[in-house]
Amino acid sequence: MRVAVFGGTFDPPHIGHLFGALCVGHELRLDRVLMVVANDPWQKSGGGQREVTPASQRLAMLQLAVAEVPALEPSSIELDRGGASYSADTLETVHDTYTTPAGPPEIFLVVGSDAAAGLGTWKRTEVLRKLATTVVLERPGKGAGGRPPSGWEYELVVLPELEVSGTRIRERVAAGKPIDFLTERPVITYINNNYLYRTKSP
């Protein structure tokens, strides 16, 4: 069993995540791509940089986004565990969950090139390196060219350029601009119905 852990804030999920996850699954011949929603993304919520949408709503949007894509599986592992989200804990859960009498799963930890450079600051890096092969998703634009610290082994998957990010989508919604085609239609409906990313209430 070859399984990838593709973690993210997914606030909101968009075509960059979906297409990226799909490409990784194809390139690495994976059986599953787990899209793991960060419960409390300490690197984004810490220091009060911005208010992150509640995890249950981000999971709901991800479920809507991949509903018709069997290759991608939304995962609530980090919500179920609660508290701050650390990939080392998640890899341990995935390792235990997918171990069968035939042996342990082969796990791939997917990180964007923007995040790769900071891997050395993540918790329990020895667990990350022991339990998974790191896969760097070369993300053109934001953080392009970022790589893990020296000595850290990794595989590289280069993506076609897609100029989209959660930040850009939130900014567009706040400015009243359309986000059609940047994410799936049911996600847009969810954002509108729940009045996400607007600065003022209706």
Residues found near ligand ATP in the complex (CB under 6 A): 8-11, 16-17, 20, 111-112, 114-115, 137, 139, 159, 162, 164-167
51 vs 5: CA distance, rounded Å: 24
Q: Of 115 and 131, which has the nearer Cβ to ligand ATP? A: 115
Smallest gap, in angstroms, from Cβ of residue 95 to ligand ATP?
20
Rounded least distance, CB 171 to ligand ATP, Å:
9
Cβ distance to ligand ATP smaller for residue 16 or 105: 16
Q: Which is nearer to ligand ATP, 15 or 127 (CB)?
A: 15
3-state secondary structure of 59: helix
- Judged by beta carbon, residue 96 or residue 175, the one nearer ligand ATP is 175
Closest approach of ligand ATP to the CB of residue 13, in Å: 7
Nearest distance from C-beta of residue 75 to ligand ATP, angstroms: 13
Rounded to 5°, angle at Cα 198 from 195 and 199: 135
Residues 6+ apart with CB under 8 A from 70: none
Q: Least Å distance between CB 172 and ligand ATP?
A: 12
Nearer to ligand ATP, 9 or 63 (CB): 9
**How far is 31 from 100, CA to CA, in rounded Å?**
15
Q: Report the alpha-carbon distance of residue 148 to residue 38 in Å, rounded.
A: 21
**Which residue lies nearest ligand ATP, judged by its C-beta?**
112
E strand segments, 32-162: 32-37, 72-75, 106-112, 132-138, 154-158
